[in-house]
């Protein structure tokens, strides 16, 4: 079997006294589309940031293409990061730049000579990408504030693709979008993995999206809710089989069922502020 592109080996991440990830191991082969699911605060984004070397492991090791990014010098780290494209939850566009400048930004940062010497090629790539994500060319001159949320996400995807990355990392790509626009983003994610053969990791709460786009689903669980010695990965398998999991915590999550969570939350607030305040009296 070929080497995994991303290898997470007994990873633990702690912030001060708070442990967020404990002994997590995961291998991501080249070309796979992996969805990481799990309730808010379980450490999904921390895991993404650890993969790209933005957060250093407290223990364990994370490698990308057999190298630990946190051990590289700044220059090499910047070079390796060009192999990744990020699609952030809020698109994270620069408000003061036009759409065109936002899309070209990574190229200008990493290949300034190429863009200066042959500005046409950067523009060609940009026009191709804007078409691929289904936006008209007239948006290129607009500013992010003039676009809808769905348009901004698609600009964010075009920007992530401009360096022709080998890995695409998506942080909640469909959050805040209507069902149609969410599915447009799903279709784009599928096309990107087919057309560019990228490896994709998608952090999401959206089970419709995870089922449609991912080859594999990994479900993380918050450490505070886990028994000692239990694996933090409650599910690691195909998207088809996630609905058949015998673990009640997995089936509750994928079906979006609260179970006894409300009672638990209410019990935890006993003795705290009165929810109804003065209005009840
Ligand atoms: N840089 C940091 N310093 C301190 N604590 C952090 C840092 N980054 C994340 N955390 C904490 O780690 C925990 C997990 O955060 P993370 O953002 O990974 O959750 P998540 O599963 O992505 O949640 P959500 O679905 O709400 O985005 C949270 O309690 C968060 O406060």
Nearest CA to ligand 1 atom 18: 43
Count CB atoms within 10 A of the CB of residue 86: 18
Supply the pLDDT for residue 44.
94
Supply the pLDDT for residue 279.
42
With a 6 Å cutoff on the Cβ, whether 40 touches ligand 1 is yes
With a 6 Å cutoff on the Cβ, whether 41 touches ligand 1 is yes
**Global pTM?**
0.88
Give 41 Cα–ligand 1 centroid separation in angstroms.
5
Supply the pLDDT for residue 280.
43
Supply the pLDDT for residue 111.
62
**Which has the closest alpha carbon to 38: 240, 169, 204, 245?**
204
Residue ranges and CATH numbers for the domains of the chain are 1-77+168-176+198-270 (3.40.50.300), 84-164 (no CATH)
Q: How far lies 99's CA from each of 130, 152, 158, 277, in Å?
A: 10, 9, 10, 47
Q: What is the dihedral of CA 107, 110, 112, 114, to 10 degrees?
A: -70
Supply the pLDDT for residue 278.
47
Structure tokens at 77: 């780290």
With a 6 Å cutoff on the Cβ, whether 94 touches ligand 1 is no
Give 45 Cα–ligand 1 centroid separation in angstroms.
6
Supply the pLDDT for residue 222.
94
Closest atom, ligand 1, to C-alpha of 46: 18
Supply the pLDDT for residue 67.
93
Supply the pLDDT for residue 25.
97
Mean pLDDT by 10 residues, the chain (281 residues): 86 95 96 94 93 93 93 89 85 86 82 55 78 89 91 90 90 89 91 88 94 96 91 95 92 88 79 50 38
CA Rg value for the chain? 21
Structure tokens at 10: 């007994």
Closest atom, ligand 1, to C-alpha of 55: 1
Q: What is the 3-state secondary structure (H, E, C) of the chain?
A: CCCCCEEEEEEEEEECCEEEEEEEEEEECCCCEEEEECCCCCCHHHHHHHHCCCCCCCEEEEEECCECHHHCCHHHHHHHHCCEEEECCCCCCCCCCCHHHHHHHHHHHHCHHHHHHCHHHHHHHHHHHHHHCCCCHHHHHCCHHHCCHHHHHHHHHHHHHCCCCCEEEEECCCCCCCHHHHHHHHHHHHHHHHHHCCEEEEECCCHHHHHHHCCEEEEECCHHHCCCCCCCEEEEEECCCHHHCCCHHHHHHHHCCCCCHHHHHHHHCCCCCCCCHHHHC
Nearest CA to ligand 1 atom 28: 41
Nearest CA to ligand 1 atom 2: 15
Give 280 Cα–ligand 1 centroid separation in angstroms.
35
Contact (Cβ atoms closer than 8 angstroms) between residue 25 and residue 10: yes
Cα distance between residue 209 and residue 183, in whole Å: 7
With a 6 Å cutoff on the Cβ, whether 204 touches ligand 1 is no
With a 6 Å cutoff on the Cβ, whether 45 touches ligand 1 is yes
């Amino acid at each position: 079997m070929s080497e995994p592109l991303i290898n997470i080996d007994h990873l633990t991440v702690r912030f001060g006294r708070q442990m967020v990830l404990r002994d997590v191991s995961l291998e991501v082969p080249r070309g796979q589309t992996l969805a990481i699911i799990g309730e808010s605060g379980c450490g999904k984004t921390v895991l993404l940031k650890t993969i790209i070397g933005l957060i250093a492991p407290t223990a364990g090791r994370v490698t990308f293409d057999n190298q630990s990014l946190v051990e590289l010098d700044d220059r090499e780290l910047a070079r390796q990061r060009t192999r990744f494209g990020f699609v952030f939850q809020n698109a994270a566009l620069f408000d003061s730049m036009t759409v065109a400048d936002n899309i070209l930004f990574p190229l200008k940062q990493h290949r300034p000579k190429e863009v200066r010497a042959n500005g046409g090629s950067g523009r060609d790539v940009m026009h191709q990408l804007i078409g691929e994500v289904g936006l008209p060319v007239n948006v290129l001159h607009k500013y992010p504030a003039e676009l809808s949320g769905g348009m901004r996400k698609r600009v964010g995807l075009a920007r992530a693709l401009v360096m022709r990355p080998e890995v695409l990392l998506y942080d909640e790509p469909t959050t805040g979008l209507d069902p149609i626009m969410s599915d447009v983003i799903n279709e784009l994610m599928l096309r990107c993995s087919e057309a560019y053969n990228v490896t994709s990791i998608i952090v999401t709460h959206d089970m419709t999206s995870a089922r449609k786009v991912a080859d594999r689903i990994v479900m993380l669980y918050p450490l505070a809710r886990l028994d000692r010695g239990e694996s933090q990965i409650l599910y690691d398998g195909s998207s088809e089989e996630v609905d058949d999991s015998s673990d009640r915590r997995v089936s509750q999550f994928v079906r979006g069922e609260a179970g006894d969570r409300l009672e638990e939350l209410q019990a935890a607030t006993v003795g705290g502020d009165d929810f109804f305040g003065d209005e009840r009296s």
